Amino acid sequence: MKRKLTLKSIAKELGVSISTVSKALRDSPEISEETREKIKAYAKLYNYKPNNIALSLKNRKTNTIGVIIPQIVHHFFTTVIQGIEHEAREKNYNVIICLSNNDFDKEVLNMELLANGSTDGFILSVSKETMLKEDYHHLNEVIEQGMPVVMFDRVVEGIKCDRVLIDDKEGAKKGVTHMIRSGCRKIGIITSEDYVSVGRLRTEGYLDALDDFGIEPDDKRILKLDNIDDLSDKSKKRIEAFIIKNDLDGVFTVNELFAVHASRVISGLGKKIPEDISLVCFTDGQLSEHAVPSLTAVSQHGEEMGRKAAAMLIDKLERPEDEEEEYSTAYIDTSLVERESTKEVIKR
């Protein structure tokens, strides 16, 4: 069987990056003329069709949505996918999912794979590496070819697409406000360094809540960890030290894993949750629900986010061609799920 010539195989053969091949075939001035000519000659020789996206679009509508996510072993992403599926199904669309594994090249290849006649448009959350590289040519390419894109959760500016975001700041504010209303005054936050946008926004929400009640913030009560996605041994130790050395009556964490570990540390100190220390986390997943005590959590409504992203994409796909393009950002409201780790709000 003959293998299909792909961006990847051209890149490998010519010893350049996938991104370079992709850009050269679109005649991007970022690539030197010599390299562009070489790549285009090779593509022509072996009959690579850079315009297959446009060709397939002219010929048919696939009624299929392509979804590209950075990782799959992640409760939040799976709930978003479930929402996309439900909305797509109601509107008679199929859904195809690919993973980037937080890898730029993989994300580019996935888009090439799906844009090649398999889908009408994309819903995606960009990979970490793509954000670091700030290289979004693959997104711009499919958009130029007439395939609409909706970005969710990890979104970037400067792309002609719709966006769906969670109101991280407001969500954190809700959680911290709830603790203050139930009597807490010395509330700490376990968050991430500011370069992780969700960490930064949730820290802002925490500070906003304190400010609303005239509580002076204290830098010692803010713990910023490097990694928000997993709970390393180093993070565990820092959480332990933070809770032991601070005199806290409430802890807000930006994810479930931090909260589960904080809960373990608090109990280990012989303190009671919520009587001595209240605990609220961002993200309402299985861990919050089944922890002992169960955790009051800010629900991100991942399924609703998926539904909204699919609805926005399908709306673009079914809009008359002569209508002017407009792009918008939708915010999904968070809500507080009250459980055993917080006290009752004090009635005034």
Query: Can you state the angle between helices 18-25 and 137-144, rounded to 10 degrees?
Result: 30
Q: Which residues of 283-316 are buried (b: 16+ CB within 10 A; e: fewer)?
A: bbbebbeebeeebbbbbbbbbbbbbbbbbbbbeb
Q: Which of 305, 297, 286 is nearest to 251 (CA)?
A: 297
Residues 49-68 that bind a copy of itself (CB under 8 A): 60-64
Cα gap 310→95, rounded to integer Å:
10
- In the complex, the smallest distance separating the C-beta of residue 240 from a copy of itself, rounded to whole angstroms, is 15
- In the complex, the smallest distance separating the C-beta of residue 336 from a copy of itself, rounded to whole angstroms, is 21
Q: Is 265 near a copy of itself (CB under 8 A)?
A: no
Q: Is 291 near a copy of itself (CB under 8 A)?
A: yes
Single out the residue of 72, 241, 244, 269 in contact with a copy of itself (rule: CB under 8 A). 72
- In the complex, the smallest distance separating the C-beta of residue 52 from a copy of itself, rounded to whole angstroms, is 12
* CB-nearer residue toward a copy of itself: 15 or 214: 15
Single out the residue of 7, 10, 81, 207 in contact with a copy of itself (rule: CB under 8 A). 81
Single out the residue of 28, 35, 52, 94 in contact with a copy of itself (rule: CB under 8 A). 94
Question: What is each CA distance from 100 to 12, 106, 143, 298, in whole angstroms?
Answer: 19, 5, 19, 27
Cα gap 132→195, rounded to integer Å:
11
Single out the residue of 18, 53, 99, 179 in contact with a copy of itself (rule: CB under 8 A). 99
Which residue in this structure is represented by tokens 């986010």? 305
Q: How remote is the C-alpha of 68 from its chain's centroid?
A: 11
Burial label for 41, CB within 10 Å (0-12, 13-18, 19+), is exposed
* DSSP structural state of residue 285: S
- In the complex, the smallest distance separating the C-beta of residue 152 from a copy of itself, rounded to whole angstroms, is 16
How many residues sit close enough to a copy of itself to count as binding (CB under 8 A)? Answer: 47
x/- map, 206-245, a copy of itself, by CB under 8 A: ----------------------------------------
Single out the residue of 22, 191, 263, 342 in contact with a copy of itself (rule: CB under 8 A). 263
**Interacting span for a copy of itself (CB under 8 A) from 98-106, 168-176, 180-188, 209-217:** 98-106
Region of 234 (left: φ > 0; alpha: ψ -120 to 50; beta: rest) is alpha
CB atoms within 10 A of CB 172: 29
- In the complex, the smallest distance separating the C-beta of residue 309 from a copy of itself, rounded to whole angstroms, is 15
Residues that bind a copy of itself (CB under 8 A): 1-4, 6, 8, 60-64, 72-75, 78-79, 81-82, 85, 89, 92, 94-99, 101, 106, 109-110, 113-114, 117-118, 257, 260-261, 263-264, 267, 286-287, 290-292
